[in-house]
Amino acid sequence: MVDANVLEELKGLMDSGIANASVDDFPKVLEFIKQVSKENEDLKEELEDMDIVVQMIITDKDAKFWLKAQGGAIDYGTGDVDNPSFTFSASYEVGGGMLTGEVDATSAYMAGDITVEGNLQDAMAFQEILELAMEAFEDMTE
């Protein structure tokens, strides 16, 4: 079950909006994704055969995060990761909005607000993870 404190922190972050958060709040979103991936059936199914490593770069905050979706599980951390499947770079506002579902990644990519280096198919799979996690968040907070 998703830890109640993690859920409350994410709810507070979502209620205040990403513009009022800090880059230090990114791991809260990643922790929620990790926890919900263990119990949400749609997300578990999506992760079953996935093997991607994402490097996230927040360009205007000099911050880096990574997320691994491998072996049906999610892990994450700060800093650089070895051999990412793809790297996405975005401003704090766009990157945070993408993680929280406020920004559509495809639209942001087409507008040039996100750059992606590496496997675009894996980037699309990552977007699906985010969407499923945010759907689960909405279900949990209704």
Average pLDDT over residues 121-137: 92
Task: Supply angle C-alpha 89, 136, 139, rounded to 5.
Answer: 135
pLDDT attached to residue 123: 93
Q: Which of 58, 45, 46, 15 is nearest to 127 (CA)?
A: 46
Query: Helical H runs in the chain?
Result: 4-16, 26-36, 41-47, 92-100, 105-110, 120-141
Count of domains in the chain? 1
Q: pLDDT per residue over 109-123, tens digit each?
A: 999 999 999 999 999
- Note the pLDDT tens digit of each residue in 80-94: 999 999 999 999 989
Phi and psi of 42, rounded to 5°?
Answer: -65, -40
List the domain range (segments joined by +) for residue 31: 4-141
Mean pLDDT of the chain: 91
CATH number for the domain that contains residue 8: 3.30.1050.10
**In the block, residue with structure tokens 């360009």:** 59
Lowest mean pLDDT among 18-32, 52-66, 88-102: 18-32
Show Cβ contacts of residue 30 under 8 Å, excluding neighbours closer than 6 positions: 65, 67, 76, 99
Report the predicted TM-score, pTM, of the whole model to 2 decimal places.
0.90
pLDDT at 54: 97
Average pLDDT over residues 116-141: 93
Cβ-contact 116, 86 below 8 angstroms: yes
